[in-house]
């Protein structure tokens, strides 16, 4: 039976970058069943919800799901749980993709596109393992309530259980084993109980099963600083949902552009993975045809690696993106003038 890939183009530049993913898939001409569904703001406009039950069911039944981007100013005044972003959180939770792998690798040809000095970022290769279905994004209680004095109170809860921490930590240790063999676990155990539990559980799991891996711990504020001071000290960074969101955006800029960074969200073995470029819907450039499709295409490569059992194609697609950049095809975010379509064509050409 063919593998199945569900594409969720979404909003803003999402459909533009997924359009180039289609061209790569066409050029590869593999036996994969590719389909699309509405997702995000476009889902709200068309079906009344950011993600329908049917789309959730199709995502859970696919081998891999690849999303473009969600959100935009036209939906920002929408009530909280009907926003496009709520659809993404619902999808992540329904797929139970608790481990989000976010590689931050500096392409040699782009070492000068970083806001940091070349010597700090040349050869940079960090893997973030971000917890994706827990913490303050999902914890209860949450909400905004009215107070008797006429003021209001906003509440979010940062919650992690032993098992939440252990399963994502396992992914980080296993990932590090395939890489540099070092995990740096990041939290705020100096001010947060859930951060202290995080540190204790990671330490315990390490002693039990991963003594071959070098484990260190770092407070999240220090990590934010170390990432711009000496980013090459890191191999694999394990962190929670919120810190992982912030730190992976920061690391993305070290590599030159958000337009280059893919991600893979993985759950239990044998379940589908969710793949997303790290960038958002970029409303400022949506519709102009100038977005960089590299992050979406590199996310497709990760889907081949982790969900479609095709490492050779993953490597082939990654090399094609790297070659297109080496050969001088650059969108504006990486210092060039290529359009989305030209960048996509150069990548297809390099396959």
| Residue 212 is a catalytic residue | no
3-state secondary structure 31-54: CEEEEECCCCHHHHHHHCCCCCHH
Closer CB to ligand IPM, 50 or 195, in the complex? 50
Closer CB to ligand IPM, 41 or 71, in the complex? 71
The nearest distance, CB 278 to ligand IPM, in angstroms, is: 6
Is 16 a binding residue for Mg ion by CB under 5 A? The answer is no
Q: What is the DSSP letter of 293?
A: -
85 makes contact, choosing from Mg ion, ligand IPM, none, with CB < 5 to 8 Å by partner type, with: ligand IPM
256 makes contact, choosing from ligand IPM, Mg ion, none, with CB < 5 to 8 Å by partner type, with: none
Closer CB to Mg ion, 30 or 228, in the complex? 228
Is 187 a binding residue for ligand IPM by CB under 6 A? The answer is no
Give the pair of three-digit tokens for residue 82: 């009907």
The residue within the footprint of Mg ion, chosen from 201, 245, 310, 322 (CB under 5 A), is 245
**Would you say 87 and 37 are in contact if contact means Cβ atoms under 8 Å apart?**
no
Binding to ligand IPM, residues 48-77 (CB under 6 A): 71
H-only helix segments in the chain: 14-28, 41-47, 53-61, 84-95, 118-121, 162-177, 193-209, 220-229, 241-254, 294-306, 311-326, 340-350
The site string for ligand IPM over 217-256 (x = CB under 6 A, - otherwise) reads: ----------------------------x-----------
The residue within the footprint of ligand IPM, chosen from 67, 88, 111, 264 (CB under 6 A), is 88
Beta-carbon contacts of 98 under 8 Å, excluding residues fewer than 6 positions away, are: 131, 132, 133, 134, 164, 167, 168, 171, 265, 266, 267
Is 276 a binding residue for Mg ion by CB under 5 A? The answer is no
Give the pair of three-digit tokens for residue 306: 């982790």
**Would you say 287 and 14 are in contact if contact means Cβ atoms under 8 Å apart?**
no
Q: Is the peptide bond before 171 cis (omega within 30 degrees of 0)?
A: no
Choices 205-213, 238-246, 251-259, 299-307 (CB under 5 A): range interacting with Mg ion: 238-246
The nearest distance, CB 88 to ligand IPM, in angstroms, is: 5
| Kind of pairing between the strands at 264-266 and 273-275 | antiparallel
| Residue 249 is a catalytic residue | yes
The site string for ligand IPM over 256-295 (x = CB under 6 A, - otherwise) reads: ----------------------x-x---------------
Residue 136, CA distances (Å) to 80, 143, 151, 200, 322 in order: 15, 12, 23, 19, 36
Residue of 45, 221, 229, 309 with catalytic role = 221
d(CA 77, CA 91): 21
| Residue 275 is a catalytic residue | no
Dihedral (Cα; 246, 142, 268, 124), 10-degree rounding: 0
d(CA 277, CA 244): 15
| Residue 11 is a catalytic residue | no
Residue of 125, 209, 249, 326 with catalytic role = 249
**Would you say 292 and 77 are in contact if contact means Cβ atoms under 8 Å apart?**
no
The nearest distance, CB 191 to Mg ion, in angstroms, is: 22
The nearest distance, CB 200 to ligand IPM, in angstroms, is: 26
What angle (nearest 5°) sits at the alpha carbon of residue 168, between those of residues 62 and 33?
A: 10
Residue of 188, 240, 275, 306 with catalytic role = 188
| Residue 164 is a catalytic residue | no
Residues with active-site annotation: 137, 188, 221, 245, 249
Return residues touching Mg ion (CB under 5 A).
245
Return residues touching ligand IPM (CB under 6 A).
71, 85, 88, 245, 278, 280
């Amino acid at each position: 039976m063919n593998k199945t890939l569900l594409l969720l183009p979404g909003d803003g530049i999402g459909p533009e970058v997924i359009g180039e993913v289609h061209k790569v898939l066409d050029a590869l001409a593999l036996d994969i069943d590719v389909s699309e569904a509405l997702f995000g703001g476009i889902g709200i406009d068309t079906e009344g919800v950011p993600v329908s039950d049917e789309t959730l069911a199709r995502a859970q039944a696919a081998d891999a799901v690849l999303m473009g981007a969600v959100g935009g100013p036209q939906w920002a005044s929408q009530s909280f749980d009907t926003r496009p972003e709520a659809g993404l959180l619902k999808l992540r939770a329904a797929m139970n993709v608790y481990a989000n792998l976010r590689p931050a690798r500096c392409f040699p040809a782009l070492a000068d596109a970083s806001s940091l000095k070349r010597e700090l970022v040349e050869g940079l290769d960090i893997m973030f393992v971000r917890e994706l279905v827990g913490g303050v994004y999902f914890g209860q209680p949450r909400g905004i309530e009215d107070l008797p004095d006429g003021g209001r109170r906003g509440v979010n809860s940062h919650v992690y259980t032993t098992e939440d921490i252990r399963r994502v930590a396992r992914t980080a240790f296993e990932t590090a084993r395939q890489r540099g063999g070092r995990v740096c676990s990041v939290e705020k155990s100096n001010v947060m109980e859930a951060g202290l539990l995080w540190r204790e559980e990671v330490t315990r799991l390490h002693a039990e099963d991963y003594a071959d891996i070098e484990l260190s711990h770092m407070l999240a504020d220090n990590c934010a600083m170390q990432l711009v001071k000496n980013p090459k000290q890191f191999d694999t960074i394990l962190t929670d949902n919120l810190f992982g969101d912030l730190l992976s955006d920061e690391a993305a800029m070290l590599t030159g552009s958000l337009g280059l960074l893919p991600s893979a969200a993985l759950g239990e073995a044998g379940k589908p993975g969710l793949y997303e470029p790290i960038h958002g819907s970029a409303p400022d450039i949506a519709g102009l045809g100038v977005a960089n499709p590299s992050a979406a295409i590199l996310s497709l490569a990760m889907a081949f690696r982790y969900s479609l059992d095709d490492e050779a194609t993953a490597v082939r697609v990654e090399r094609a993106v790297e070659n297109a950049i080496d050969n001088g095809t650059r969108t504006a975010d990486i210092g060039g003038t290529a359009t989305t379509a030209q960048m996509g064509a150069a990548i297809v050409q390099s396959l």
